[in-house]
Amino acid sequence: MPRALLSVSDKSGLVEFARGLAARGFDLVSTGGTARALEQAGLRVIGISAVTGFPEMMDGRVKTLHPLVHGGILARRGRPDDLASAAAHGITLIDLVVVNLYPFVQAAANPATPFEALIEEIDIGGPSLVRAAAKNFEDVLVVVSPADYAAVLAELDRPDGPERGFRFELARKAFAHTGRYDAAIAATLATVSAGPGGFARAAAGPLPPVLPIELQKVRDLRYGENPHQQAALYRGFGQHPGFRLLQGKELSYTNLLDLDAAARIALEFSEPAAVVIKHTNPCGAATGRSAADAYVRAREADPVAAFGGIVGLNRPIDVETAKAIVSTFIEAVTAPAVDEGARAVLGTKTNMRVVVPDGAPEDAAGAGATQAAPLVELRSILGGVLVQARDVVREAHASWPGAEGLSVVTTRQPTAEEWQALRFAWRICAHVKSNTVIFTGADRTLAIGAGQMSRVDAVRVACMKAESAGADALKGSVAASDAFFPFRDGLDAVAAAGATAVVQPGGSVRDQEVIAAANEHNLAMVFTGRRHFRH
């Protein structure tokens, strides 16, 4: 009879799977708690001690590490000498290994887990069983995930048995499983220090001494930033890939960057909000009474730049919003969901990409993280990788004007209307490439000076963008700067443009000079104490 060895920490679906194996003629060999669970379900189980002739010992540390087990897994069925050795030593072949490992990751995620208990969650026999079975995948099926149980039973029912490709795919999953496990152990132990009083774990943080990175390809992309560059989308194991395409052409590398930028800004707001992105910068953003109202106001903030842009919304797309979107040329749009009626309207623009988050909206926007993934961002440079904690803006501005670190540094206090506009401007400003100065009203951008070499240049670009709306387009506006004004000339330019209030981090050695300039212009100026560069 074929023989299956089962030893799992995750027992979901175990009994049903074991019943399926028994119904197909398998003897079931098992260990510890797995054996008890199967016996309680009425299944006949051969204990591992009956195979090895040794009891499970040392609190379960030693139970499967034995030639009578590993010989049965590693024997190559096409090698007469292997089979002769197995027969000579009374080794019964094992045809299927079902193992998932001790829950080390869950234990490590709990800062209250003592170091000694953490060490006991390091599996030894499990990885050895998995690796042995995966190495001999031509003859032995290895299963590390309950998600594969149904497929394994279906493959066993094939007239010729499981296909070779299926066996190999299970082996690849098995090696990935043990690889992730070992990487998690190494990363966790890197946070442990040894001292006279014993071992101590450092407080959890987003920038650990060791950062394991294992990514799984979701799909190839047409090309990268340019046609001669290959590109693909990857995701972390157990994470969602970000966006799910509902209609339109395949997403490109730059589409995905712009969609990410659009979603991040839209999710800064609890009220209906919309943004139009070009080259990861907003060319218009607004809030409104509804998604449609917010979108039209965002588009009209800079209608020339909005042509061919990427749209982000924080509300489901309804029919009214869909009609507004298809009235002009838009490359792609992302929203939390799309109403059924709206899908038909958007479908009239067959090439327009319509995407929704694959998972929680916060995950797709980068404002949160799936499962226990850290809130970090990675960027490759020549010879290394830069890692930083993610800049989450919306939590910092929620209690304005009473937020910690926030101070009005000018003689004149902002009016209630200016406070509303400053809150809006700061949330948008943080997502524009530095150096930036932007001008807004209470609920809509008016002009954006993005990615300039100086603050004065950023103001000039913003003013140039506003010219088409008239000479007084920025009169009565507020301005936001992602970093401090190093000289008063930038502040003078903001005042000349027509702004009445400005928000900036502060922190320049010439802050007093800049504050004096603001007082001369009767501007209200707020220091946040927090910079929001975006390179």
Q: How many CB atoms lie within 10 A of CB 146?
A: 17
Amino acid identity for residue 184 in this structure = A
Is 466 within 8 Å of 439 (Cβ atoms)? yes
Handedness of CA 395, 401, 403, 408 (dihedral sign): positive
Residue 342: the pLDDT is: 97
Radius of gyration over alpha carbons of the chain, in Å? 30
Which residue in the block uniquely carries the two structure tokens 């009239």?
348
Q: How many CB atoms lie within 10 A of CB 512?
A: 11
Kindly indicate whether the domain formed by 242-365 is annotated with CATH number 3.40.140.20: yes
Is 285 within 8 Å of 273 (Cβ atoms)? yes
Which residue in the block uniquely carries the two structure tokens 């953003």?
285
Maximal C-alpha separation, the chain = 98
Residue 255: the pLDDT is: 93
Amino acid identity for residue 19 in this structure = R
DSSP three-state, residue 330? strand
Residue 359: the pLDDT is: 65
Helix and strand numbers (H, E) in the chain are 21, 23
Question: Residue 307: what are its φ and ψ, rounded to 5°?
Answer: -60, 120
DSSP three-state, residue 128? helix
How far is residue 355's CA from residue 369's CA, in Å, rounded to a whole number? 19
How far is residue 426's CA from residue 440's CA, in Å, rounded to a whole number? 10
Q: CB neighbours of 405 closer than 8 A, spacing ≥ 6?
A: 528, 529, 530
How far is residue 281's CA from residue 312's CA, in Å, rounded to a whole number? 12
Q: Which of 24, 254, 365 is nearest to 162 (CA)?
A: 24
161: left (phi over 0), alpha (psi -120 to 50) or beta: left
DSSP characters over 145-211: -GGGHHHHHHHHTSTT-S-HHHHHHHHHHHHHHHHHHHHHHHHHHTTEEEETTEEEEPPP-SS-SS-
pLDDT means per 10 residues, the chain with 535 residues, are 90 93 93 90 90 80 84 91 91 93 80 82 88 94 94 93 94 91 85 80 72 83 92 77 86 93 93 96 96 97 95 97 96 96 96 85 39 66 88 70 87 96 95 96 96 94 91 94 96 97 96 97 95 92
Residue 373: the pLDDT is: 42
Q: Which of 337, 299, 339 is nearest to 320 (CA)?
A: 339
How far is residue 362's CA from residue 503's CA, in Å, rounded to a whole number? 27
Is 482 within 8 Å of 429 (Cβ atoms)? yes
Residue 121: the pLDDT is: 83
Which helix (H) or strand (E) segment is 503 a member of? Answer: strand 501-504
Which helix (H) or strand (E) segment is 349 a member of? Answer: none
Tokens of 263: 């979603």
CA 326 to chain centroid, in Å, comes to 30
394-527 matches 3-201 in CATH topology:
no
How far is residue 385's CA from residue 143's CA, in Å, rounded to a whole number? 34
Residue 371: the pLDDT is: 33
Structural domain boundaries in the chain = 3-201, 242-365, 394-527
DSSP characters over 231-271: -EEEEETTS--EEEEEESSPPPHHHHHHHHHHHHHHTT-SS
The CATH number of 394-527 is which of 3.50.50.60, 3.40.140.20, 3.30.450.20, 3.40.50.720?
3.40.140.20
CATH superfamily, with its number, for domain 3-201: Methylglyoxal synthase-like domain (3.40.50.1380)
Would you name the residues annotated as active-site residues?
A: 135, 279
Question: Residue 520: what are its φ and ψ, rounded to 5°?
Answer: -60, -40
Residue 308: the pLDDT is: 95
DSSP characters over 414-439: PPHHHHHHHHHHHHHHTTSPSS-EEE
Residue 200: the pLDDT is: 76
| Alpha carbon separation from 367 to 84, 116, 254 (Å, rounded) | 60, 35, 20
Residue 365: the pLDDT is: 40
Q: Which of 365, 387, 392 is nearest to 376 (CA)?
A: 387
pTM above 0.75, yes or no: yes
Residue 369: the pLDDT is: 31
Residue 59: the pLDDT is: 76
How far is residue 382's CA from residue 131's CA, in Å, rounded to a whole number? 35
